[in-house]
Amino acid sequence: MYTLPSASDATRNHLLCALPRTELEHMLPQLQPVTFLLGQVVYEPSERIGYCYFPTDCVVSLVYTMQDGTTAEMGLVGNEGVLGVALFLGGESTCSRAIVRVAGVALRFPAKLLQEEFEHSRPLQLLLLRYTQSLLTQISQTAVCNRLHSVEQRLCRWLLLCHDRRNRSELLMTQELIDR
């Protein structure tokens, strides 16, 4: 049986928590909890995005794949953000793969409704645009870190980013997923 998430479930995601109460209550009936497994692919490049996801305790990696098959992680999304930024920026797909690095729960929201809410809700619009700016900053910092830092420094940075995006202290993952 499906139960609607409560306001306390939704506020485990920092973006949803930052919304005015009336805006959050308006979105609650459409937010659906989903459980992501370690290594699960949430989005594939160029696939039409059907939902955006507000992680509450999972961490998802944004990975770019080159033509020769090599990959590079561009960023991480956890309880501070949202997966599916392309949706409210006018796109229907993304150029990266989204892979679950730390299993857990996210709240999904239909893509079409997010686009409508983005157009009509100034508080949501401003919040999502500020988040996009912070995500772009993270992606830029990741590029610089990948170029200038040692493997040990990059691993430490990655573990700290994962830790910051969780509501718990433990991180359950495999070496294979870290190496990607």
Q: Are the C-beta atoms of residues 163 and 169 closer than 8 Å to each other?
A: yes
Provide the β-strand partners of residue 63. Answer: 73, 97
Residue 174 region by backbone torsions, left for phi larger than 0, else alpha for psi between -120 and 50, else beta? beta
Cβ atoms within 10 Å of 89's Cβ, excluding its own:
12
pLDDT higher than threshold 50 for residue 123:
yes
At 2, the pLDDT band (50, 70, 90 cuts) reads very low
Q: Is residue 150 helix, strand or coil?
A: coil
Q: Which residues contact 58 (CB under 8 A, 6 or more apart)?
A: 36, 78, 100, 102, 103, 104, 105, 106
At 65, the pLDDT band (50, 70, 90 cuts) reads confident
Q: Which residues contact 135 (CB under 8 A, 6 or more apart)?
A: 75, 77, 81, 85
Q: Is residue 33 helix, strand or coil?
A: strand
And the tokens for 169? Answer: 């202290």
Q: Please provide the average confidence, as pLDDT, over all residues in the chain.
A: 84
pLDDT higher than threshold 90 for residue 70:
no
Alpha carbon of residue 3 to chain centroid: 23
- 27-57 pLDDT, tens digit per residue, is 999 999 999 999 999 999 989 999 999 999 8
Q: Which residue has the higher pLDDT, 83 or 143?
A: 83
Q: Which long-range contacts (CB under 8 A, 24 or more apart) does 112-116 make?
A: 113/30, 114/52, 114/84, 114/87, 114/88, 115/87, 115/88
AA letter at 11 = T
And the tokens for 90? Answer: 């006018």
pLDDT for position 1: 41
Please tell me what DSSP assigns to residue 91: -
Please state the rounded mean pLDDT for residues 136-145.
77
CA–CA separation, 142 and 157 (whole Å)? 9
CA–CA separation, 12 and 79 (whole Å)? 7
pLDDT higher than threshold 60 for residue 68:
yes
Q: Are the C-beta atoms of residues 102 and 162 closer than 8 Å to each other?
A: yes
